[in-house]
């Protein structure tokens, strides 16, 4: 038992069910001695199983639409009340695109949906930080983490406008990380996680094949939600106080790969099967 987060207080946005990355992070933070509140949208609370997580971790749930400043303000105020003071860490695991959901291809984006994608998936992170900053709700040397994806740097077929949202999210982490670090010694980072089979992720068409590819490309294989939870608690702990404004690739090595032996062997097989009897 490492007790890395002993005495730490936090807020975790975005846990839905036990496949959620935020869920695993909450479990791990609990295991490491942290106390925290949980927040998600009213709809998510209805369809997810957050009560179970709350019970398991002794947490209270505060519903919030993360695009609404007043809702976020309520989360921070209630959290400080419940937890007995300022928090030490915040997790932002929020993202959604109506363009993706409605299968609107990137060159035909609906711009109302596009702004909504940016608002939910990226601007909400600014709002979380702005509210926390105004309320002075995060202790010195606190840590804020948002979850991102390599689509922010490299285009992936079908990831659509979420790529732009992730690029914006990472920029906000840098921009606000500068201010929050300078003024209050709070660090802000993003983790760029392997594609992960969450309930949200499993809706993405073709994610199986993509995950097979990234699994074969990454020397250590894809990082899963449990691996992510392990890493995230190190970022919440006092051991990483001087890391800020970074996007940290947590992906089994994928980001630094051009072509692996395993992926290439699989790829080559695609050419070797042109016999006529094949089905």
Tell me which residues in 41-100 interact with a second copy (CB under 8 A).
Answer: 69
Residue 39 vs 222, nearer CB to a second copy: 222
* Burial of 205 per CB tally in 10 Å (0-12, 13-18, 19+): exposed
Residue 272 near residue 216, CB atoms below 8 Å: no
Q: Are 71 and 50 in contact (CB under 8 A)?
A: no
Minimum distance between the CB of residue 106 and a second copy, rounded to whole angstroms? 6
Q: What is the DSSP string of 100-123?
A: HHTT--GGG--HHHHHHHHIIIII
Sheet bearing 87-92, strands edge to edge: 60-61, 35-39, 9-13, 87-92, 138-148, 187-193, 247-250
Indicate which single residue of 40, 121, 159, 198 sits in contact with a second copy (rule: CB under 8 A).
Answer: 159
Question: Is residue 109 a contact point for a second copy (CB under 8 A)?
Answer: yes
- Which of 27, 71, 164, 215 forms a contact with a second copy (CB under 8 A)? 164
Binding segment (CB under 8 A) for a second copy, from list 1-9, 46-54, 58-66, 96-104: 1-9
Residue window 8-47: x/- pattern of binding to a second copy, with contact defined by CB under 8 A: ----------------------------------------
Query: Of 21, 187, 190, 204, which lies in the binding site for a second copy, with binding defined by CB under 8 A?
Result: 187
Q: How far is CA 96 from CA 66, 115, 118, 121, 228, in A?
A: 12, 11, 9, 6, 20
CB of 55 to a second copy, least distance (A): 26
Binding residues for a second copy, total number by CB under 8 A: 109
The residue among 45 and 244 lying less far from a second copy, judged by its C-beta, is 244
Q: Do 22 and 15 touch, CB atoms closer than 8 A? A: yes
Region from 15-23, 38-46, 73-81, 118-126 binding a second copy, contact rule CB under 8 A: 118-126
- Rule CB under 8 A: say whether 245 interacts with a second copy: yes
Nearest CA to 229 out of 22, 7, 86 is that of: 22
């Amino acid at each position: 038992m490492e007790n890395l987060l002993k005495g730490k207080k936090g807020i975790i946005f975005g846990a839905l069910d036990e496949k959620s990355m935020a869920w695993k992070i909450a479990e791990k933070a609990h295991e490491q001695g942290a106390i925290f509140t949980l927040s998600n949208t009213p709809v998510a609370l209805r369809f997810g199983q957050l009560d179970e997580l709350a019970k398991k971790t002794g947490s209270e749930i505060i519903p919030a639409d993360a695009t609404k400043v007043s809702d976020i303000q309520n989360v921070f105020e209630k959290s400080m009340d419940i937890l007995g003071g300022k928090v030490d860490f915040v997790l932002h695991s929020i993202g959604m695109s109506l363009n993706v959901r409605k299968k609107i291809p990137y060159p035909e984006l609906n711009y109302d949906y596009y702004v909504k994608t940016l608002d939910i998936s990226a601007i909400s992170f600014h709002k979380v930080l702005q509210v926390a900053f105004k309320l002075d709700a995060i202790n010195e040397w606190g840590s804020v983490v948002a979850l991102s994806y390599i689509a922010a740097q490299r285009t992936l077929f079908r990831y659509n406008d979420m790529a732009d949202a992730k690029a914006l999210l990472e920029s906000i982490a840098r921009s606000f990380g500068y201010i929050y670090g300078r003024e209050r010694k709070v660090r802000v980072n993003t983790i760029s996680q392997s594609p992960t089979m969450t309930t949200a992720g499993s809706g993405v068409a073709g994610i199986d094949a993509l995950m097979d590819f990234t699994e074969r490309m990454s020397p250590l294989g894809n990082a899963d939600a449990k691996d992510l939870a392990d890493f995230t608690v190190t970022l919440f702990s006092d051991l990483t106080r001087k890391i800020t404004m970074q996007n940290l690739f947590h992906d089994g090595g994928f980001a630094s790969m051009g072509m692996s032996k395993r992926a290439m062997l699989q790829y080559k097989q695609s050419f070797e099967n042109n016999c006529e009897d094949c089905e």
